[in-house]
Amino acid sequence: MPIARSNPQSDELARLSDDSTIEFQRIARRMIAASATSDDAKMQSATSALVTLFANTLSLADLMGRRRVILQARSVVEGSGLDLSDPFAAPIMFAASTTTISDVVNPTRWEDAVTSIVERTPELAKPVIVDGEIEPRYKAIQRLYREKHGFGLAKSFEIKVTERVQDVLRHVLDHGMTKDIATHAITALGGFTQSYSEMVYRTNINSTYTAGTFEQMSTPESQLVFGALEFISIADRDTRPNHFAAHGLIAPATSKVWNQLSPPLYYNCRCSVQPVDRWTLEEEGLLMSNGQVRVRLPNGEKLDRDIDHLPGAGPDQPNSGFGRRPNRAIYG
């Protein structure tokens, strides 16, 4: 009973990012004002707000990536005849989620959103040991993004905004422009923050969602159902040729090729990876007698060996900041 050959991740990622970018832009405007007036207190306040926004949205995106794997596993197992104990033997309990990340700015609403996901996906609440202490997995994920990633991303964005404001002010002083012109020039940075924030925010959500997918795929329960991942790109004129070149690639979840090809491959990348179940692998001749998974290249060729790269496909630039794939590095 193979999974549907669809691309649910792209729709889910779009829903995750649409509302949250609006809040991101609002905080960015606060940063511009604070930087232009050299108001350290306001900049610190805005940066703190951005840390919270990043930490909450990224941890929720991570959970959504994990939840998607569990959802697909349950869907595959139902009616397949596979005899599994908890967690996959239970009936499918999922309904279409209406939660959006716009709720996560307020910590209380963020907790409500996570509670809703965890209640419908008990596997996400299994205890893990972190720093010698036992805590629910979702709490560990929240702490990871709050302490390790949220602060770093917020400070990086603060530096970028400050540099742009300083460039504008320097230009104004060098050319002897009036205060009004300087004000208009700084205001015009709003366009920069809108486009830049959308690009950065959506890219980080995609990275985090993918990281959650890979982490969930590594669990024993998921490995009973899934053996590989398929690279999916969007077939339209906005898709980069080197991204579309990987479309249809199927490789084991542990394959070295995902060090190069786990999305996003660059800013604004809309590509995703989708779990491939054992029944689909058998139907397509990708499951060897020893239980190992064959690699299927985008052109349909099948290989009885792993690959570590795909010629013509991959990140846009070797040093684009995506050298360490999120599935390998984000939890380290």
Strand order in the sheet with 295-296: 272-277, 226-232, 250-252, 295-296, 302-303
**Domain layout of the chain by residue ranges:** 1-224, 226-325
**Which residues face 250 on adjacent strands?**
230, 296
Q: Where does the pLDDT of residue 133 fall: very low under 50, low under 70, confident under 90, or very high at 90 and above?
A: confident
Query: How many CA atoms lie within 13 Å of 241's alpha carbon, on the beta-carbon side?
Result: 2
**Tokens (6 digits) for 289:** 């007698």
Residues 215-235 have pLDDT tens digits of 888 888 888 888 899 999 987
pLDDT of 96 above 70: no
pLDDT of 318 above 80: no
Q: Where does the pLDDT of residue 49 fall: very low under 50, low under 70, confident under 90, or very high at 90 and above?
A: very high
> Beta-strand (E) ranges in the chain?
127-130, 133-136, 226-232, 250-252, 272-277, 295-296, 302-303
Cβ–Cβ < 8 Å for 161, 32: yes
Query: CA 302, CA 293: separation in Å to the nearest integer?
Result: 10
Q: Where does the pLDDT of residue 144 fall: very low under 50, low under 70, confident under 90, or very high at 90 and above?
A: confident
pLDDT of 322 above 60: no
pTM of the shown model = 0.79
